[in-house]
Amino acid sequence: MIKLRNLILEAITYNPYYYSKDNKIILKDTDTIRVYHGFDSVDDAFDVICYGTSGKILPSRRYSYESDNNPFGLFITCVFKVAKQFTNKIIIEFAVKVSDLEAPIWPGGGYTVQGQMSQYWNGSSIKDRLEDREKARLKTRQEVKNSSRKDIDFIKLSDRPELANILFGSGEYQALFMGDLDPNMIRSIWIYEGNSAGRYATFTRMSRKEFLKKYLKKHLKTFKRSQYQRNNPEDKLYKPTEDWKGIKDYINRLEKIRPGASEYIEDHLNSKDNMFDVIVDLLYRSLWPKQLEQAAKELGFEYIGPLLKK
């Protein structure tokens, strides 16, 4: 079995369409692979390209049932033409650690097709439903391991067979990116410059710098941010992958855009009353999940994720 990871120092490019018995790869969590994400919304595309994103925030979903089935993560694929099926305009290309990927899981065993009744996870609370989803993910892992199919033996030997199976063995060729993505981690942007891209449309590849120089001003002329947007990247004081550097650093950053905020925070930070809750809400708006989790340890509030915030 050829181990391409020993031959390629950069991201490994996998193409499940061209697997043969001699080049099937055992997917390891330590691998770095090249992936694509096709945007359903041009506005979302510009937000990610300008500010980055995190798989730990609540993304916008094309299908509403996915907010229950797979509430977190950015859907990605190793196959460019699969990404084309989920956009009519913009695709980003970037490299990810396999450890930052997760297999999407659906209550019915597979994604809901057109005309099919959507199913949902069991539980009276969000936390219960997420636990039900996790049980299903582990069950899927065992099912793949125990499969009698000989053609997926290389998948069974992967670190997480359920992930390798949906990327390479299921025909869906997709996964969820659960990590953090800075803007400069986007390797390339692919854009269709016509009115509506089809599966055979030709996309133009360019660097992030070239893309922003050519299209950002034009986009900003017509862009109007929704007041209902759950996660506004313009409010963030850090990049998605940055570490929290302490409350003093946070206050200094905030003071630059909100003069007088430092006095407000310092007066109420240790009050542990309703004003403390207001400050926590401010942190949720201005920090990415990585800093939120770190800030919680320093400041003494319970971070239970953006979906489960009290």
Separation between Cα atoms, residue 265 and residue 250, nearest integer Å: 10
What pLDDT is recorded for position 203?
Answer: 93
**How distant is the alpha carbon of residue 80 from its chain centre?**
17
Residues 254-266 have pLDDT tens digits of 988 888 777 777 7
Residues 57-111 have pLDDT tens digits of 888 787 777 888 898 999 999 999 899 988 989 999 999 999 999 999 999 877 7
What pLDDT is recorded for position 303?
Answer: 79
pLDDT surpasses 80 at 40: yes
Print the SS3 string covering 48-106: HHHHCEECCCCCCCCCCCHHHHCCCCEEEECCHHHHHHHCCCEEEEEEEEHHHEECCCC
List the single range of 129-138, 229-238, 256-265 with lowest mean pLDDT.
Answer: 256-265
What pLDDT is recorded for position 50?
Answer: 97
Separation between Cα atoms, residue 283 and residue 277, nearest integer Å: 10
231 in Cβ contact with 282 (< 8 Å): no
List the single range of 18-22, 24-28, 33-37, 234-238 with lowest mean pLDDT.
Answer: 18-22
Residues 143-172 have pLDDT tens digits of 999 999 888 888 999 999 999 999 988 878
pLDDT surpasses 50 at 1: no
Averaged confidence pLDDT in the chain: 85
Confidence of residue 9 (pLDDT cuts 50, 70, 90): very low
Q: Tell me if residue 36 falls in helix, strand or coil.
A: strand
What pLDDT is recorded for position 5?
Answer: 42
77 in Cβ contact with 87 (< 8 Å): no
pLDDT surpasses 80 at 310: no
